[in-house]
Amino acid sequence: MPYTEAKEHAPGRLHGIFVDPYSAFDNAATERLLHLRMASEAMILAPMREGRLVLRVIHGWQNGSFEPAELCHSDHRLDSLAALRRVTDDYRQAFEGGQPLPCDGTGLLADPLARAIAAAEAEGQALDEETRTIPARWPAFRQGLTLYTFFKVYHRLTYSEDDAYRSILCQTPQGPREIHEFHLEEGEFAVVAPRENEDGDSVLLLHESQLTPVLQLLEAGHGA
């Protein structure tokens, strides 16, 4: 059964700022740095000042691995760049000291996947091992397309991506969310945000290796 919980390359709020967001951040764009400052103001700094920004740092996948249960994350509510700087320092100190990186658990992807599989089976849907374990097969069950969409976002943020920008519209348990991915020379990150003029937190999502680059990007564009 096909589900339509997500749509890649869907228009989002940056389409109201730029004529073509997909070319606005390209290295050949004439005013690329200005575009980047405008986007980070709208997507990151504005919700941060309003107390609606959560930083979600992911780690755990390495050497090509992508097992859901290996994906760790930690969440941090940000109200300033100073708060982001503190999180960055915490990760750096843990890494340099050979300590475990901050982790709120390994259920970011594994838990909702298990719930979706259980719900599908409770409805009488038979799922073979490949459908359970191969991400590209997850859209065969309800909420699977949402999970596969976020899996791809986590994978691209971990292992990089060639496209500078990507916009996705995705249905989540919290309601519809826009996912804006940025894969730039300055840093790689995504912002998961409610639709424009709708309530809810925005999530700044990035791999732990991108904490310092993204902090430097925001400080350079907007000051400390």
pLDDT tens digits for 2-36? 568 899 989 999 999 998 999 999 888 889 999 99
Examine residue 97 and state whether it is found in any structural domain, yes or no.
Answer: yes
Q: Assess contact for 158 and 167: CB atoms under 8 A.
A: no
Does any domain span residue 178?
Answer: yes
Classify burial at 199, counting beta carbons within 10 Å of its beta carbon; exposed 0-12, middle 13-18, buried 19 or more.
exposed
CB neighbour burial string for 19-29, b if at least 16 within 10 angstroms, e if fewer: eebeebbeeeb
Instruction: Write the CB contacts of 77 (distance below 8 Å, at least 6 apart in sequence).
Output: 51, 53, 54, 55, 83
Domain for residue 210, yes or no? yes
Please check whether residue 93 lies inside any domain of the structure. Answer: yes
Q: Which domain holds residue 28?
A: 6-106+157-222
Residue 4 burial (CB count, 10 A): 8
What is the domain count for the chain? 1
**pLDDT score recorded for residue 112:** 97
Q: Are 194 and 177 in contact (CB under 8 A)?
A: yes
The amino acid at 99: Q
**pTM, rounded to two decimals:** 0.95
Q: How far apart are CA 5 and CA 64, in angstroms?
A: 27
**Is residue 131 in a domain?**
no
Going by C-alpha positions, the residue among 220, 205, 224, 216 that lies closest to residue 92 is 216
pLDDT of residue 1: 43
* pLDDT for residue 2: 53
pLDDT digits (tens, 9 = 90+) for 156-181: 999 999 899 999 999 998 899 999 99
Q: Is residue 85 part of a domain?
A: yes
Span 41-74, pLDDT tens digits: 999 999 999 999 999 999 999 999 999 999 999 9
Mean pLDDT across the stretch 137-161?
96
